[in-house]
Chain A
Amino acid sequence: MPRRRVVAAMSGGVDSSLAAALLVEAGYEVVGVTMNLWPEEEPGVVEARGGCCGLGAVFDARAVADRLGIRHYVVNFREAFEAGVVAPFASEYARGRTPNPCLLCNRYVKFAALLDLALDLGAERVATGHYARTAEDRSAGRVLLLRAADRQKDQTYALYALTQAQLAHALFPLGGLTKPEVRRMALARGLATAMKPESQELCFVAARGRYTDVLRLRAPEAMTPGPIVDLEGRVVGRHEGIGAYTVGQRRGLGLAGGERLYVVALDPAANAVVVGPESALYRRELVATDLNWIAWEAPSGPVACRAQVRYHGEALPCTVEPRPDGAARVVFDAPVRAPTPGQAIVFYDGDTVLGGGTIAAVPGPAGGLDPAAEPVRAEAAAS
């Protein structure tokens, strides 16, 4: 019987390297694919090592593939990445929101364009080095998404938007491991990437300085200087462009003396950064749009669960009230700090991801809606 074929997304990092190795050991025929996501560098520009989608990554991924004795391809996904990740990344900042490009990449590239290619090549699934687990809920006939064994590395926050069809084709071999275990196992297998440092910066920014440089090119309106105003509307300083700021941020405001001020909101209409005391960051409720439910097709009524509003945040008790227009009102039991428009809100029941959405509107401390909070259309490319 022929071995079952899977495509392993290989970024050249330790996680995806070990994921591929474990699949080989499990008896799969593994085809490694490194996605080429960003336009060619000018010849002669040396790329920072550790980046996730350049030639350095290709070299490392290929070294691992050779070690494992598997096929390895570098495939151009620039169009899908541009449409699904880079363009929305820039336009969201221009709208005063803080997008999550990893989430967009999972949704519109890895488990979309790459999955399409995998299926075309006769593979059953796409495997990645994500820290997450899937499980089949036979009674409900659904594929569940569960938190990773390593809670510190858990990446379910960036995977909540996957549809059932996408999850059914996803394979996360590292879901039961901790990061130290992954490094140890990679080292034991002699993988060249075993001790590679974690990449902290966004993959498509790493080699090019700061994300604001990308914004300057792609969404200049997000990088146009303007006023910093306080909650009463008084101008208290100048900012270098709303794209450079995120709700909850304190550093980099360049404001002198007085009380500690934080970014409370971004107002793209006035090109203003709104600042206030830390107390103004706490909100009891928000509106989430672009909802994707995993545990069921859609909830029949209000759901009491926990919600996480940032990648490495804590999941806090709340009630999710679905609205007839498909959005949901989320009311937390206690105020949460700095829910940020554009970021994801992901709902959990214990380790199980119930679903999630995009934070669209956060009612302001004065009761009104946050300025950056008009209704949101579903972003970006078709999957």
Chain B
Amino acid sequence: MDRIYLDAAATTPLHPDVAATMAEVSVSAWGNPASVHERGRAARRVVDEARREVAALIGAAPQDVVFTSGGTESDNLAVVGAARARGEEGRNHVLCSAVEHHAVLEACRGLAREGFEVGFVPVDGEGVVDLDALRRMLRPDTALVALMFANNEVGALEPVAEAAVLAHAVGAWLHVDAVQGPGWLPIDVGALGADLLALSAHKFYGPKGVGALWVRPGVRVRPLLRGGGQERAWRPGTVNVPAIAGFGRAARIARSYAAGPGPEAVRRLRDRLAEGLLASIPGVRLSGPQGAGRLPDFVHVTVAGVSGEALVLALDLAGVDASSGAACTSGSLEPSHVLRAMGLPPELAASGLRLTLLREATGDEVDEAVRRIRDAVARLRRGAARRVAARA
């Protein structure tokens, strides 16, 4: 069997229909959507069509969707842009969960340097935010709470709707990083009670470098970039028409996939993968919530006595694409802030392995992955034992 891709949370391939749409639009709709003339209008029709599809994915109105360069920009625009707007009315306090993506965490740390007070809301041992702690940490001057839809390392689904009620009780807005989740579960901004919501296309078979921020009417955001009036002046700059067209197409496919039998089938494969690992490798522990509390494509385990970093390299050599956590710019691997926030001791927090399935995953693939992971772990453990013996 060829290489097995188990890193869908890092990125997914382009859906063939998405690729076809992008290729076609690249040629046919080359106008500037901001132009008055027919060339411009043709491009704008493409962008507006995509905006409708993306809005439909999250149960929103198209005019409230702003296209960006991806999840990181959407998170920054939401957190920094909304906090700055509210700072003007004297709200200078921001909260986010301790397990947010770095795009949110670093945006919050940037706000702290601007003079905002920032608090990090703890999570439980499964990575789910502690709502009691959130309630205690909210203040009359809280501007914004950021809580992700699903955690990108362990796949924990967060109690967003409950958090929204708490946040709104003190007049704070809720930003939801929904980069992980679309295509697997239905997402509805109204049901979530969100005020802002970030999306990224490439996590569900769309292109890289394009995302969106949904902004509830009445919520104010200060732009991060200065320029023309595109995207309601919240995100100036000529938009990436082909990427947005691909995003729209991917959103449409994701919406119908999430409503079909696909996620349940992948969930069964995910459980088969987890059970295979638990049964064949001693010292493996499943992280995050069990069953329906976790994204259907997520398996995260800790492997006692094995470095997650070394394991990922060994698996690469063995033909399994996996991750020990979030990918970092330099390709270097870091200990996980998520596992540490979950209270795992440092040595276990460095032994994480994240396996995330594509829609196309098969039972044979999962079974073969279990064998390859088992063998890689065994080799790493033999090495560790050899070193212990050599020192003794």
Q: Across the interface, do A75 and B330 meet the contact criterion of CB distance under 8 Å?
A: no
Within 8 A of A (CB), among B26-74: none
1/0 contact string of B361-392 vs chain A (CB within 8 Å)? 00000000000000000011001001100110
B130 close to A (CB within 8 Å): no
Chain A: CB-nearest residue to B334? A76
Q: Across the interface, do B316 and A76 meet the contact criterion of CB distance under 8 Å?
A: no
**Smallest beta-carbon distance B113→chain A, Å:** 11
Of the candidates B317, B329, B333, B391, the one having the most CB atoms from chain A within 10 angstroms of its own CB is B317
Known: A75-B309, A120-B310, A121-B310. A31 touches B332 (CB 8 A): no
A299 close to B (CB within 8 Å): no
Residues of A within 8 A of B333 (CB): 74-76
Within 8 A of B (CB), among A33-84: 36, 55, 58, 62, 71-76
Residues of A within 8 A of B317 (CB): 5, 31, 71, 121-122
A117 close to B (CB within 8 Å): yes
1/0 contact string of A115-129 vs chain B (CB within 8 Å)? 011011110000000
Q: Which of A5, A119, A382 touches B383 (beta carbons < 8 Å)?
A: A119
**Smallest beta-carbon distance A207→chain B, Å:** 14
- Complex Cα–Cα for A5 and B317 (A): 11
Residues of B within 8 A of A75 (CB): 309, 313, 332-333
1/0 contact string of B296-317 vs chain A (CB within 8 Å)? 0000000000000110011011
**Smallest beta-carbon distance B145→chain A, Å:** 25
**Smallest beta-carbon distance B346→chain A, Å:** 11
Q: Which of B316, B330, B390 touches A36 (beta carbons < 8 Å)?
A: B330
Known: A55-B330, A382-B391. A71 touches B310 (CB 8 A): no
Of the candidates A31, A71, A72, A75, the one having the most CB atoms from chain B within 10 angstroms of its own CB is A75
- Complex Cα–Cα for A44 and B122 (A): 29
- Complex Cα–Cα for A122 and B333 (A): 20
B331 close to A (CB within 8 Å): yes
Within 8 A of B (CB), among A238-284: none
**Smallest beta-carbon distance A108→chain B, Å:** 14
Q: Across the interface, do B391 and A120 meet the contact criterion of CB distance under 8 Å?
A: no
Residues of A within 8 A of B390 (CB): 165
Q: Which of B313, B329, B334, B383 touches A73 (beta carbons < 8 Å)?
A: B313
Known: A120-B310, A121-B313. A58 touches B330 (CB 8 A): yes
Q: Which size bracket describes the interface of A in this complex?
A: 20 to 34
Chain B: CB-nearest residue to A33? B313
- Complex Cα–Cα for A72 and B316 (A): 11
Majority SS at the chain A contact face: mixed
- Complex Cα–Cα for A334 and B375 (A): 60
- Complex Cα–Cα for A120 and B375 (A): 12
Q: Across the interface, do A74 and B310 meet the contact criterion of CB distance under 8 Å?
A: no
- Complex Cα–Cα for A76 and B309 (A): 8
- Complex Cα–Cα for A73 and B314 (A): 11
Residues of A within 8 A of B334 (CB): 76
- Complex Cα–Cα for A58 and B332 (A): 10
Q: Across the interface, do A73 and B310 meet the contact criterion of CB distance under 8 Å?
A: no
Known: A120-B380, A121-B314, A382-B391. A74 touches B309 (CB 8 A): no
- Complex Cα–Cα for A252 and B77 (A): 53
Residues of A within 8 A of B329 (CB): 55
Residues of A within 8 A of B309 (CB): 75-76
- Complex Cα–Cα for A36 and B331 (A): 10
1/0 contact string of B312-347 vs chain A (CB within 8 Å)? 011011000000000001111110000000000000
Q: Across the interface, do A74 and B332 meet the contact criterion of CB distance under 8 Å?
A: yes
Q: Across the interface, do B316 and A116 meet the contact criterion of CB distance under 8 Å?
A: no
Q: Across the interface, do A116 and B330 meet the contact criterion of CB distance under 8 Å?
A: no
**Smallest beta-carbon distance A319→chain B, Å:** 34
- Complex Cα–Cα for A120 and B385 (A): 11
**Smallest beta-carbon distance A70→chain B, Å:** 12
- Complex Cα–Cα for A76 and B390 (A): 24
Residues of A within 8 A of B383 (CB): 116, 119-120
Q: Across the interface, do B330 and A74 meet the contact criterion of CB distance under 8 Å?
A: yes
Residues of B within 8 A of A382 (CB): 391
**Smallest beta-carbon distance B348→chain A, Å:** 16
- Complex Cα–Cα for A121 and B386 (A): 14
- Complex Cα–Cα for A373 and B313 (A): 45
**Smallest beta-carbon distance B88→chain A, Å:** 27
Known: A116-B383, A121-B310, A122-B379. A74 touches B316 (CB 8 A): no
Offer 29 A-B interface pairs, CB within 8 angstroms, sorted by A.
A5-B317, A31-B317, A36-B330, A36-B332, A55-B329, A58-B330, A58-B331, A72-B331, A73-B313, A73-B331, A74-B331, A74-B332, A75-B332, A75-B333, A76-B332, A76-B333, A76-B334, A116-B383, A117-B310, A117-B313, A119-B383, A120-B314, A120-B383, A121-B313, A121-B317, A122-B314, A122-B317, A165-B390, A382-B391
Known: A75-B309, A75-B332. 6 other contacts (CB 8 A): A55-B330, A71-B317, A76-B309, A117-B310, A120-B379, A121-B317
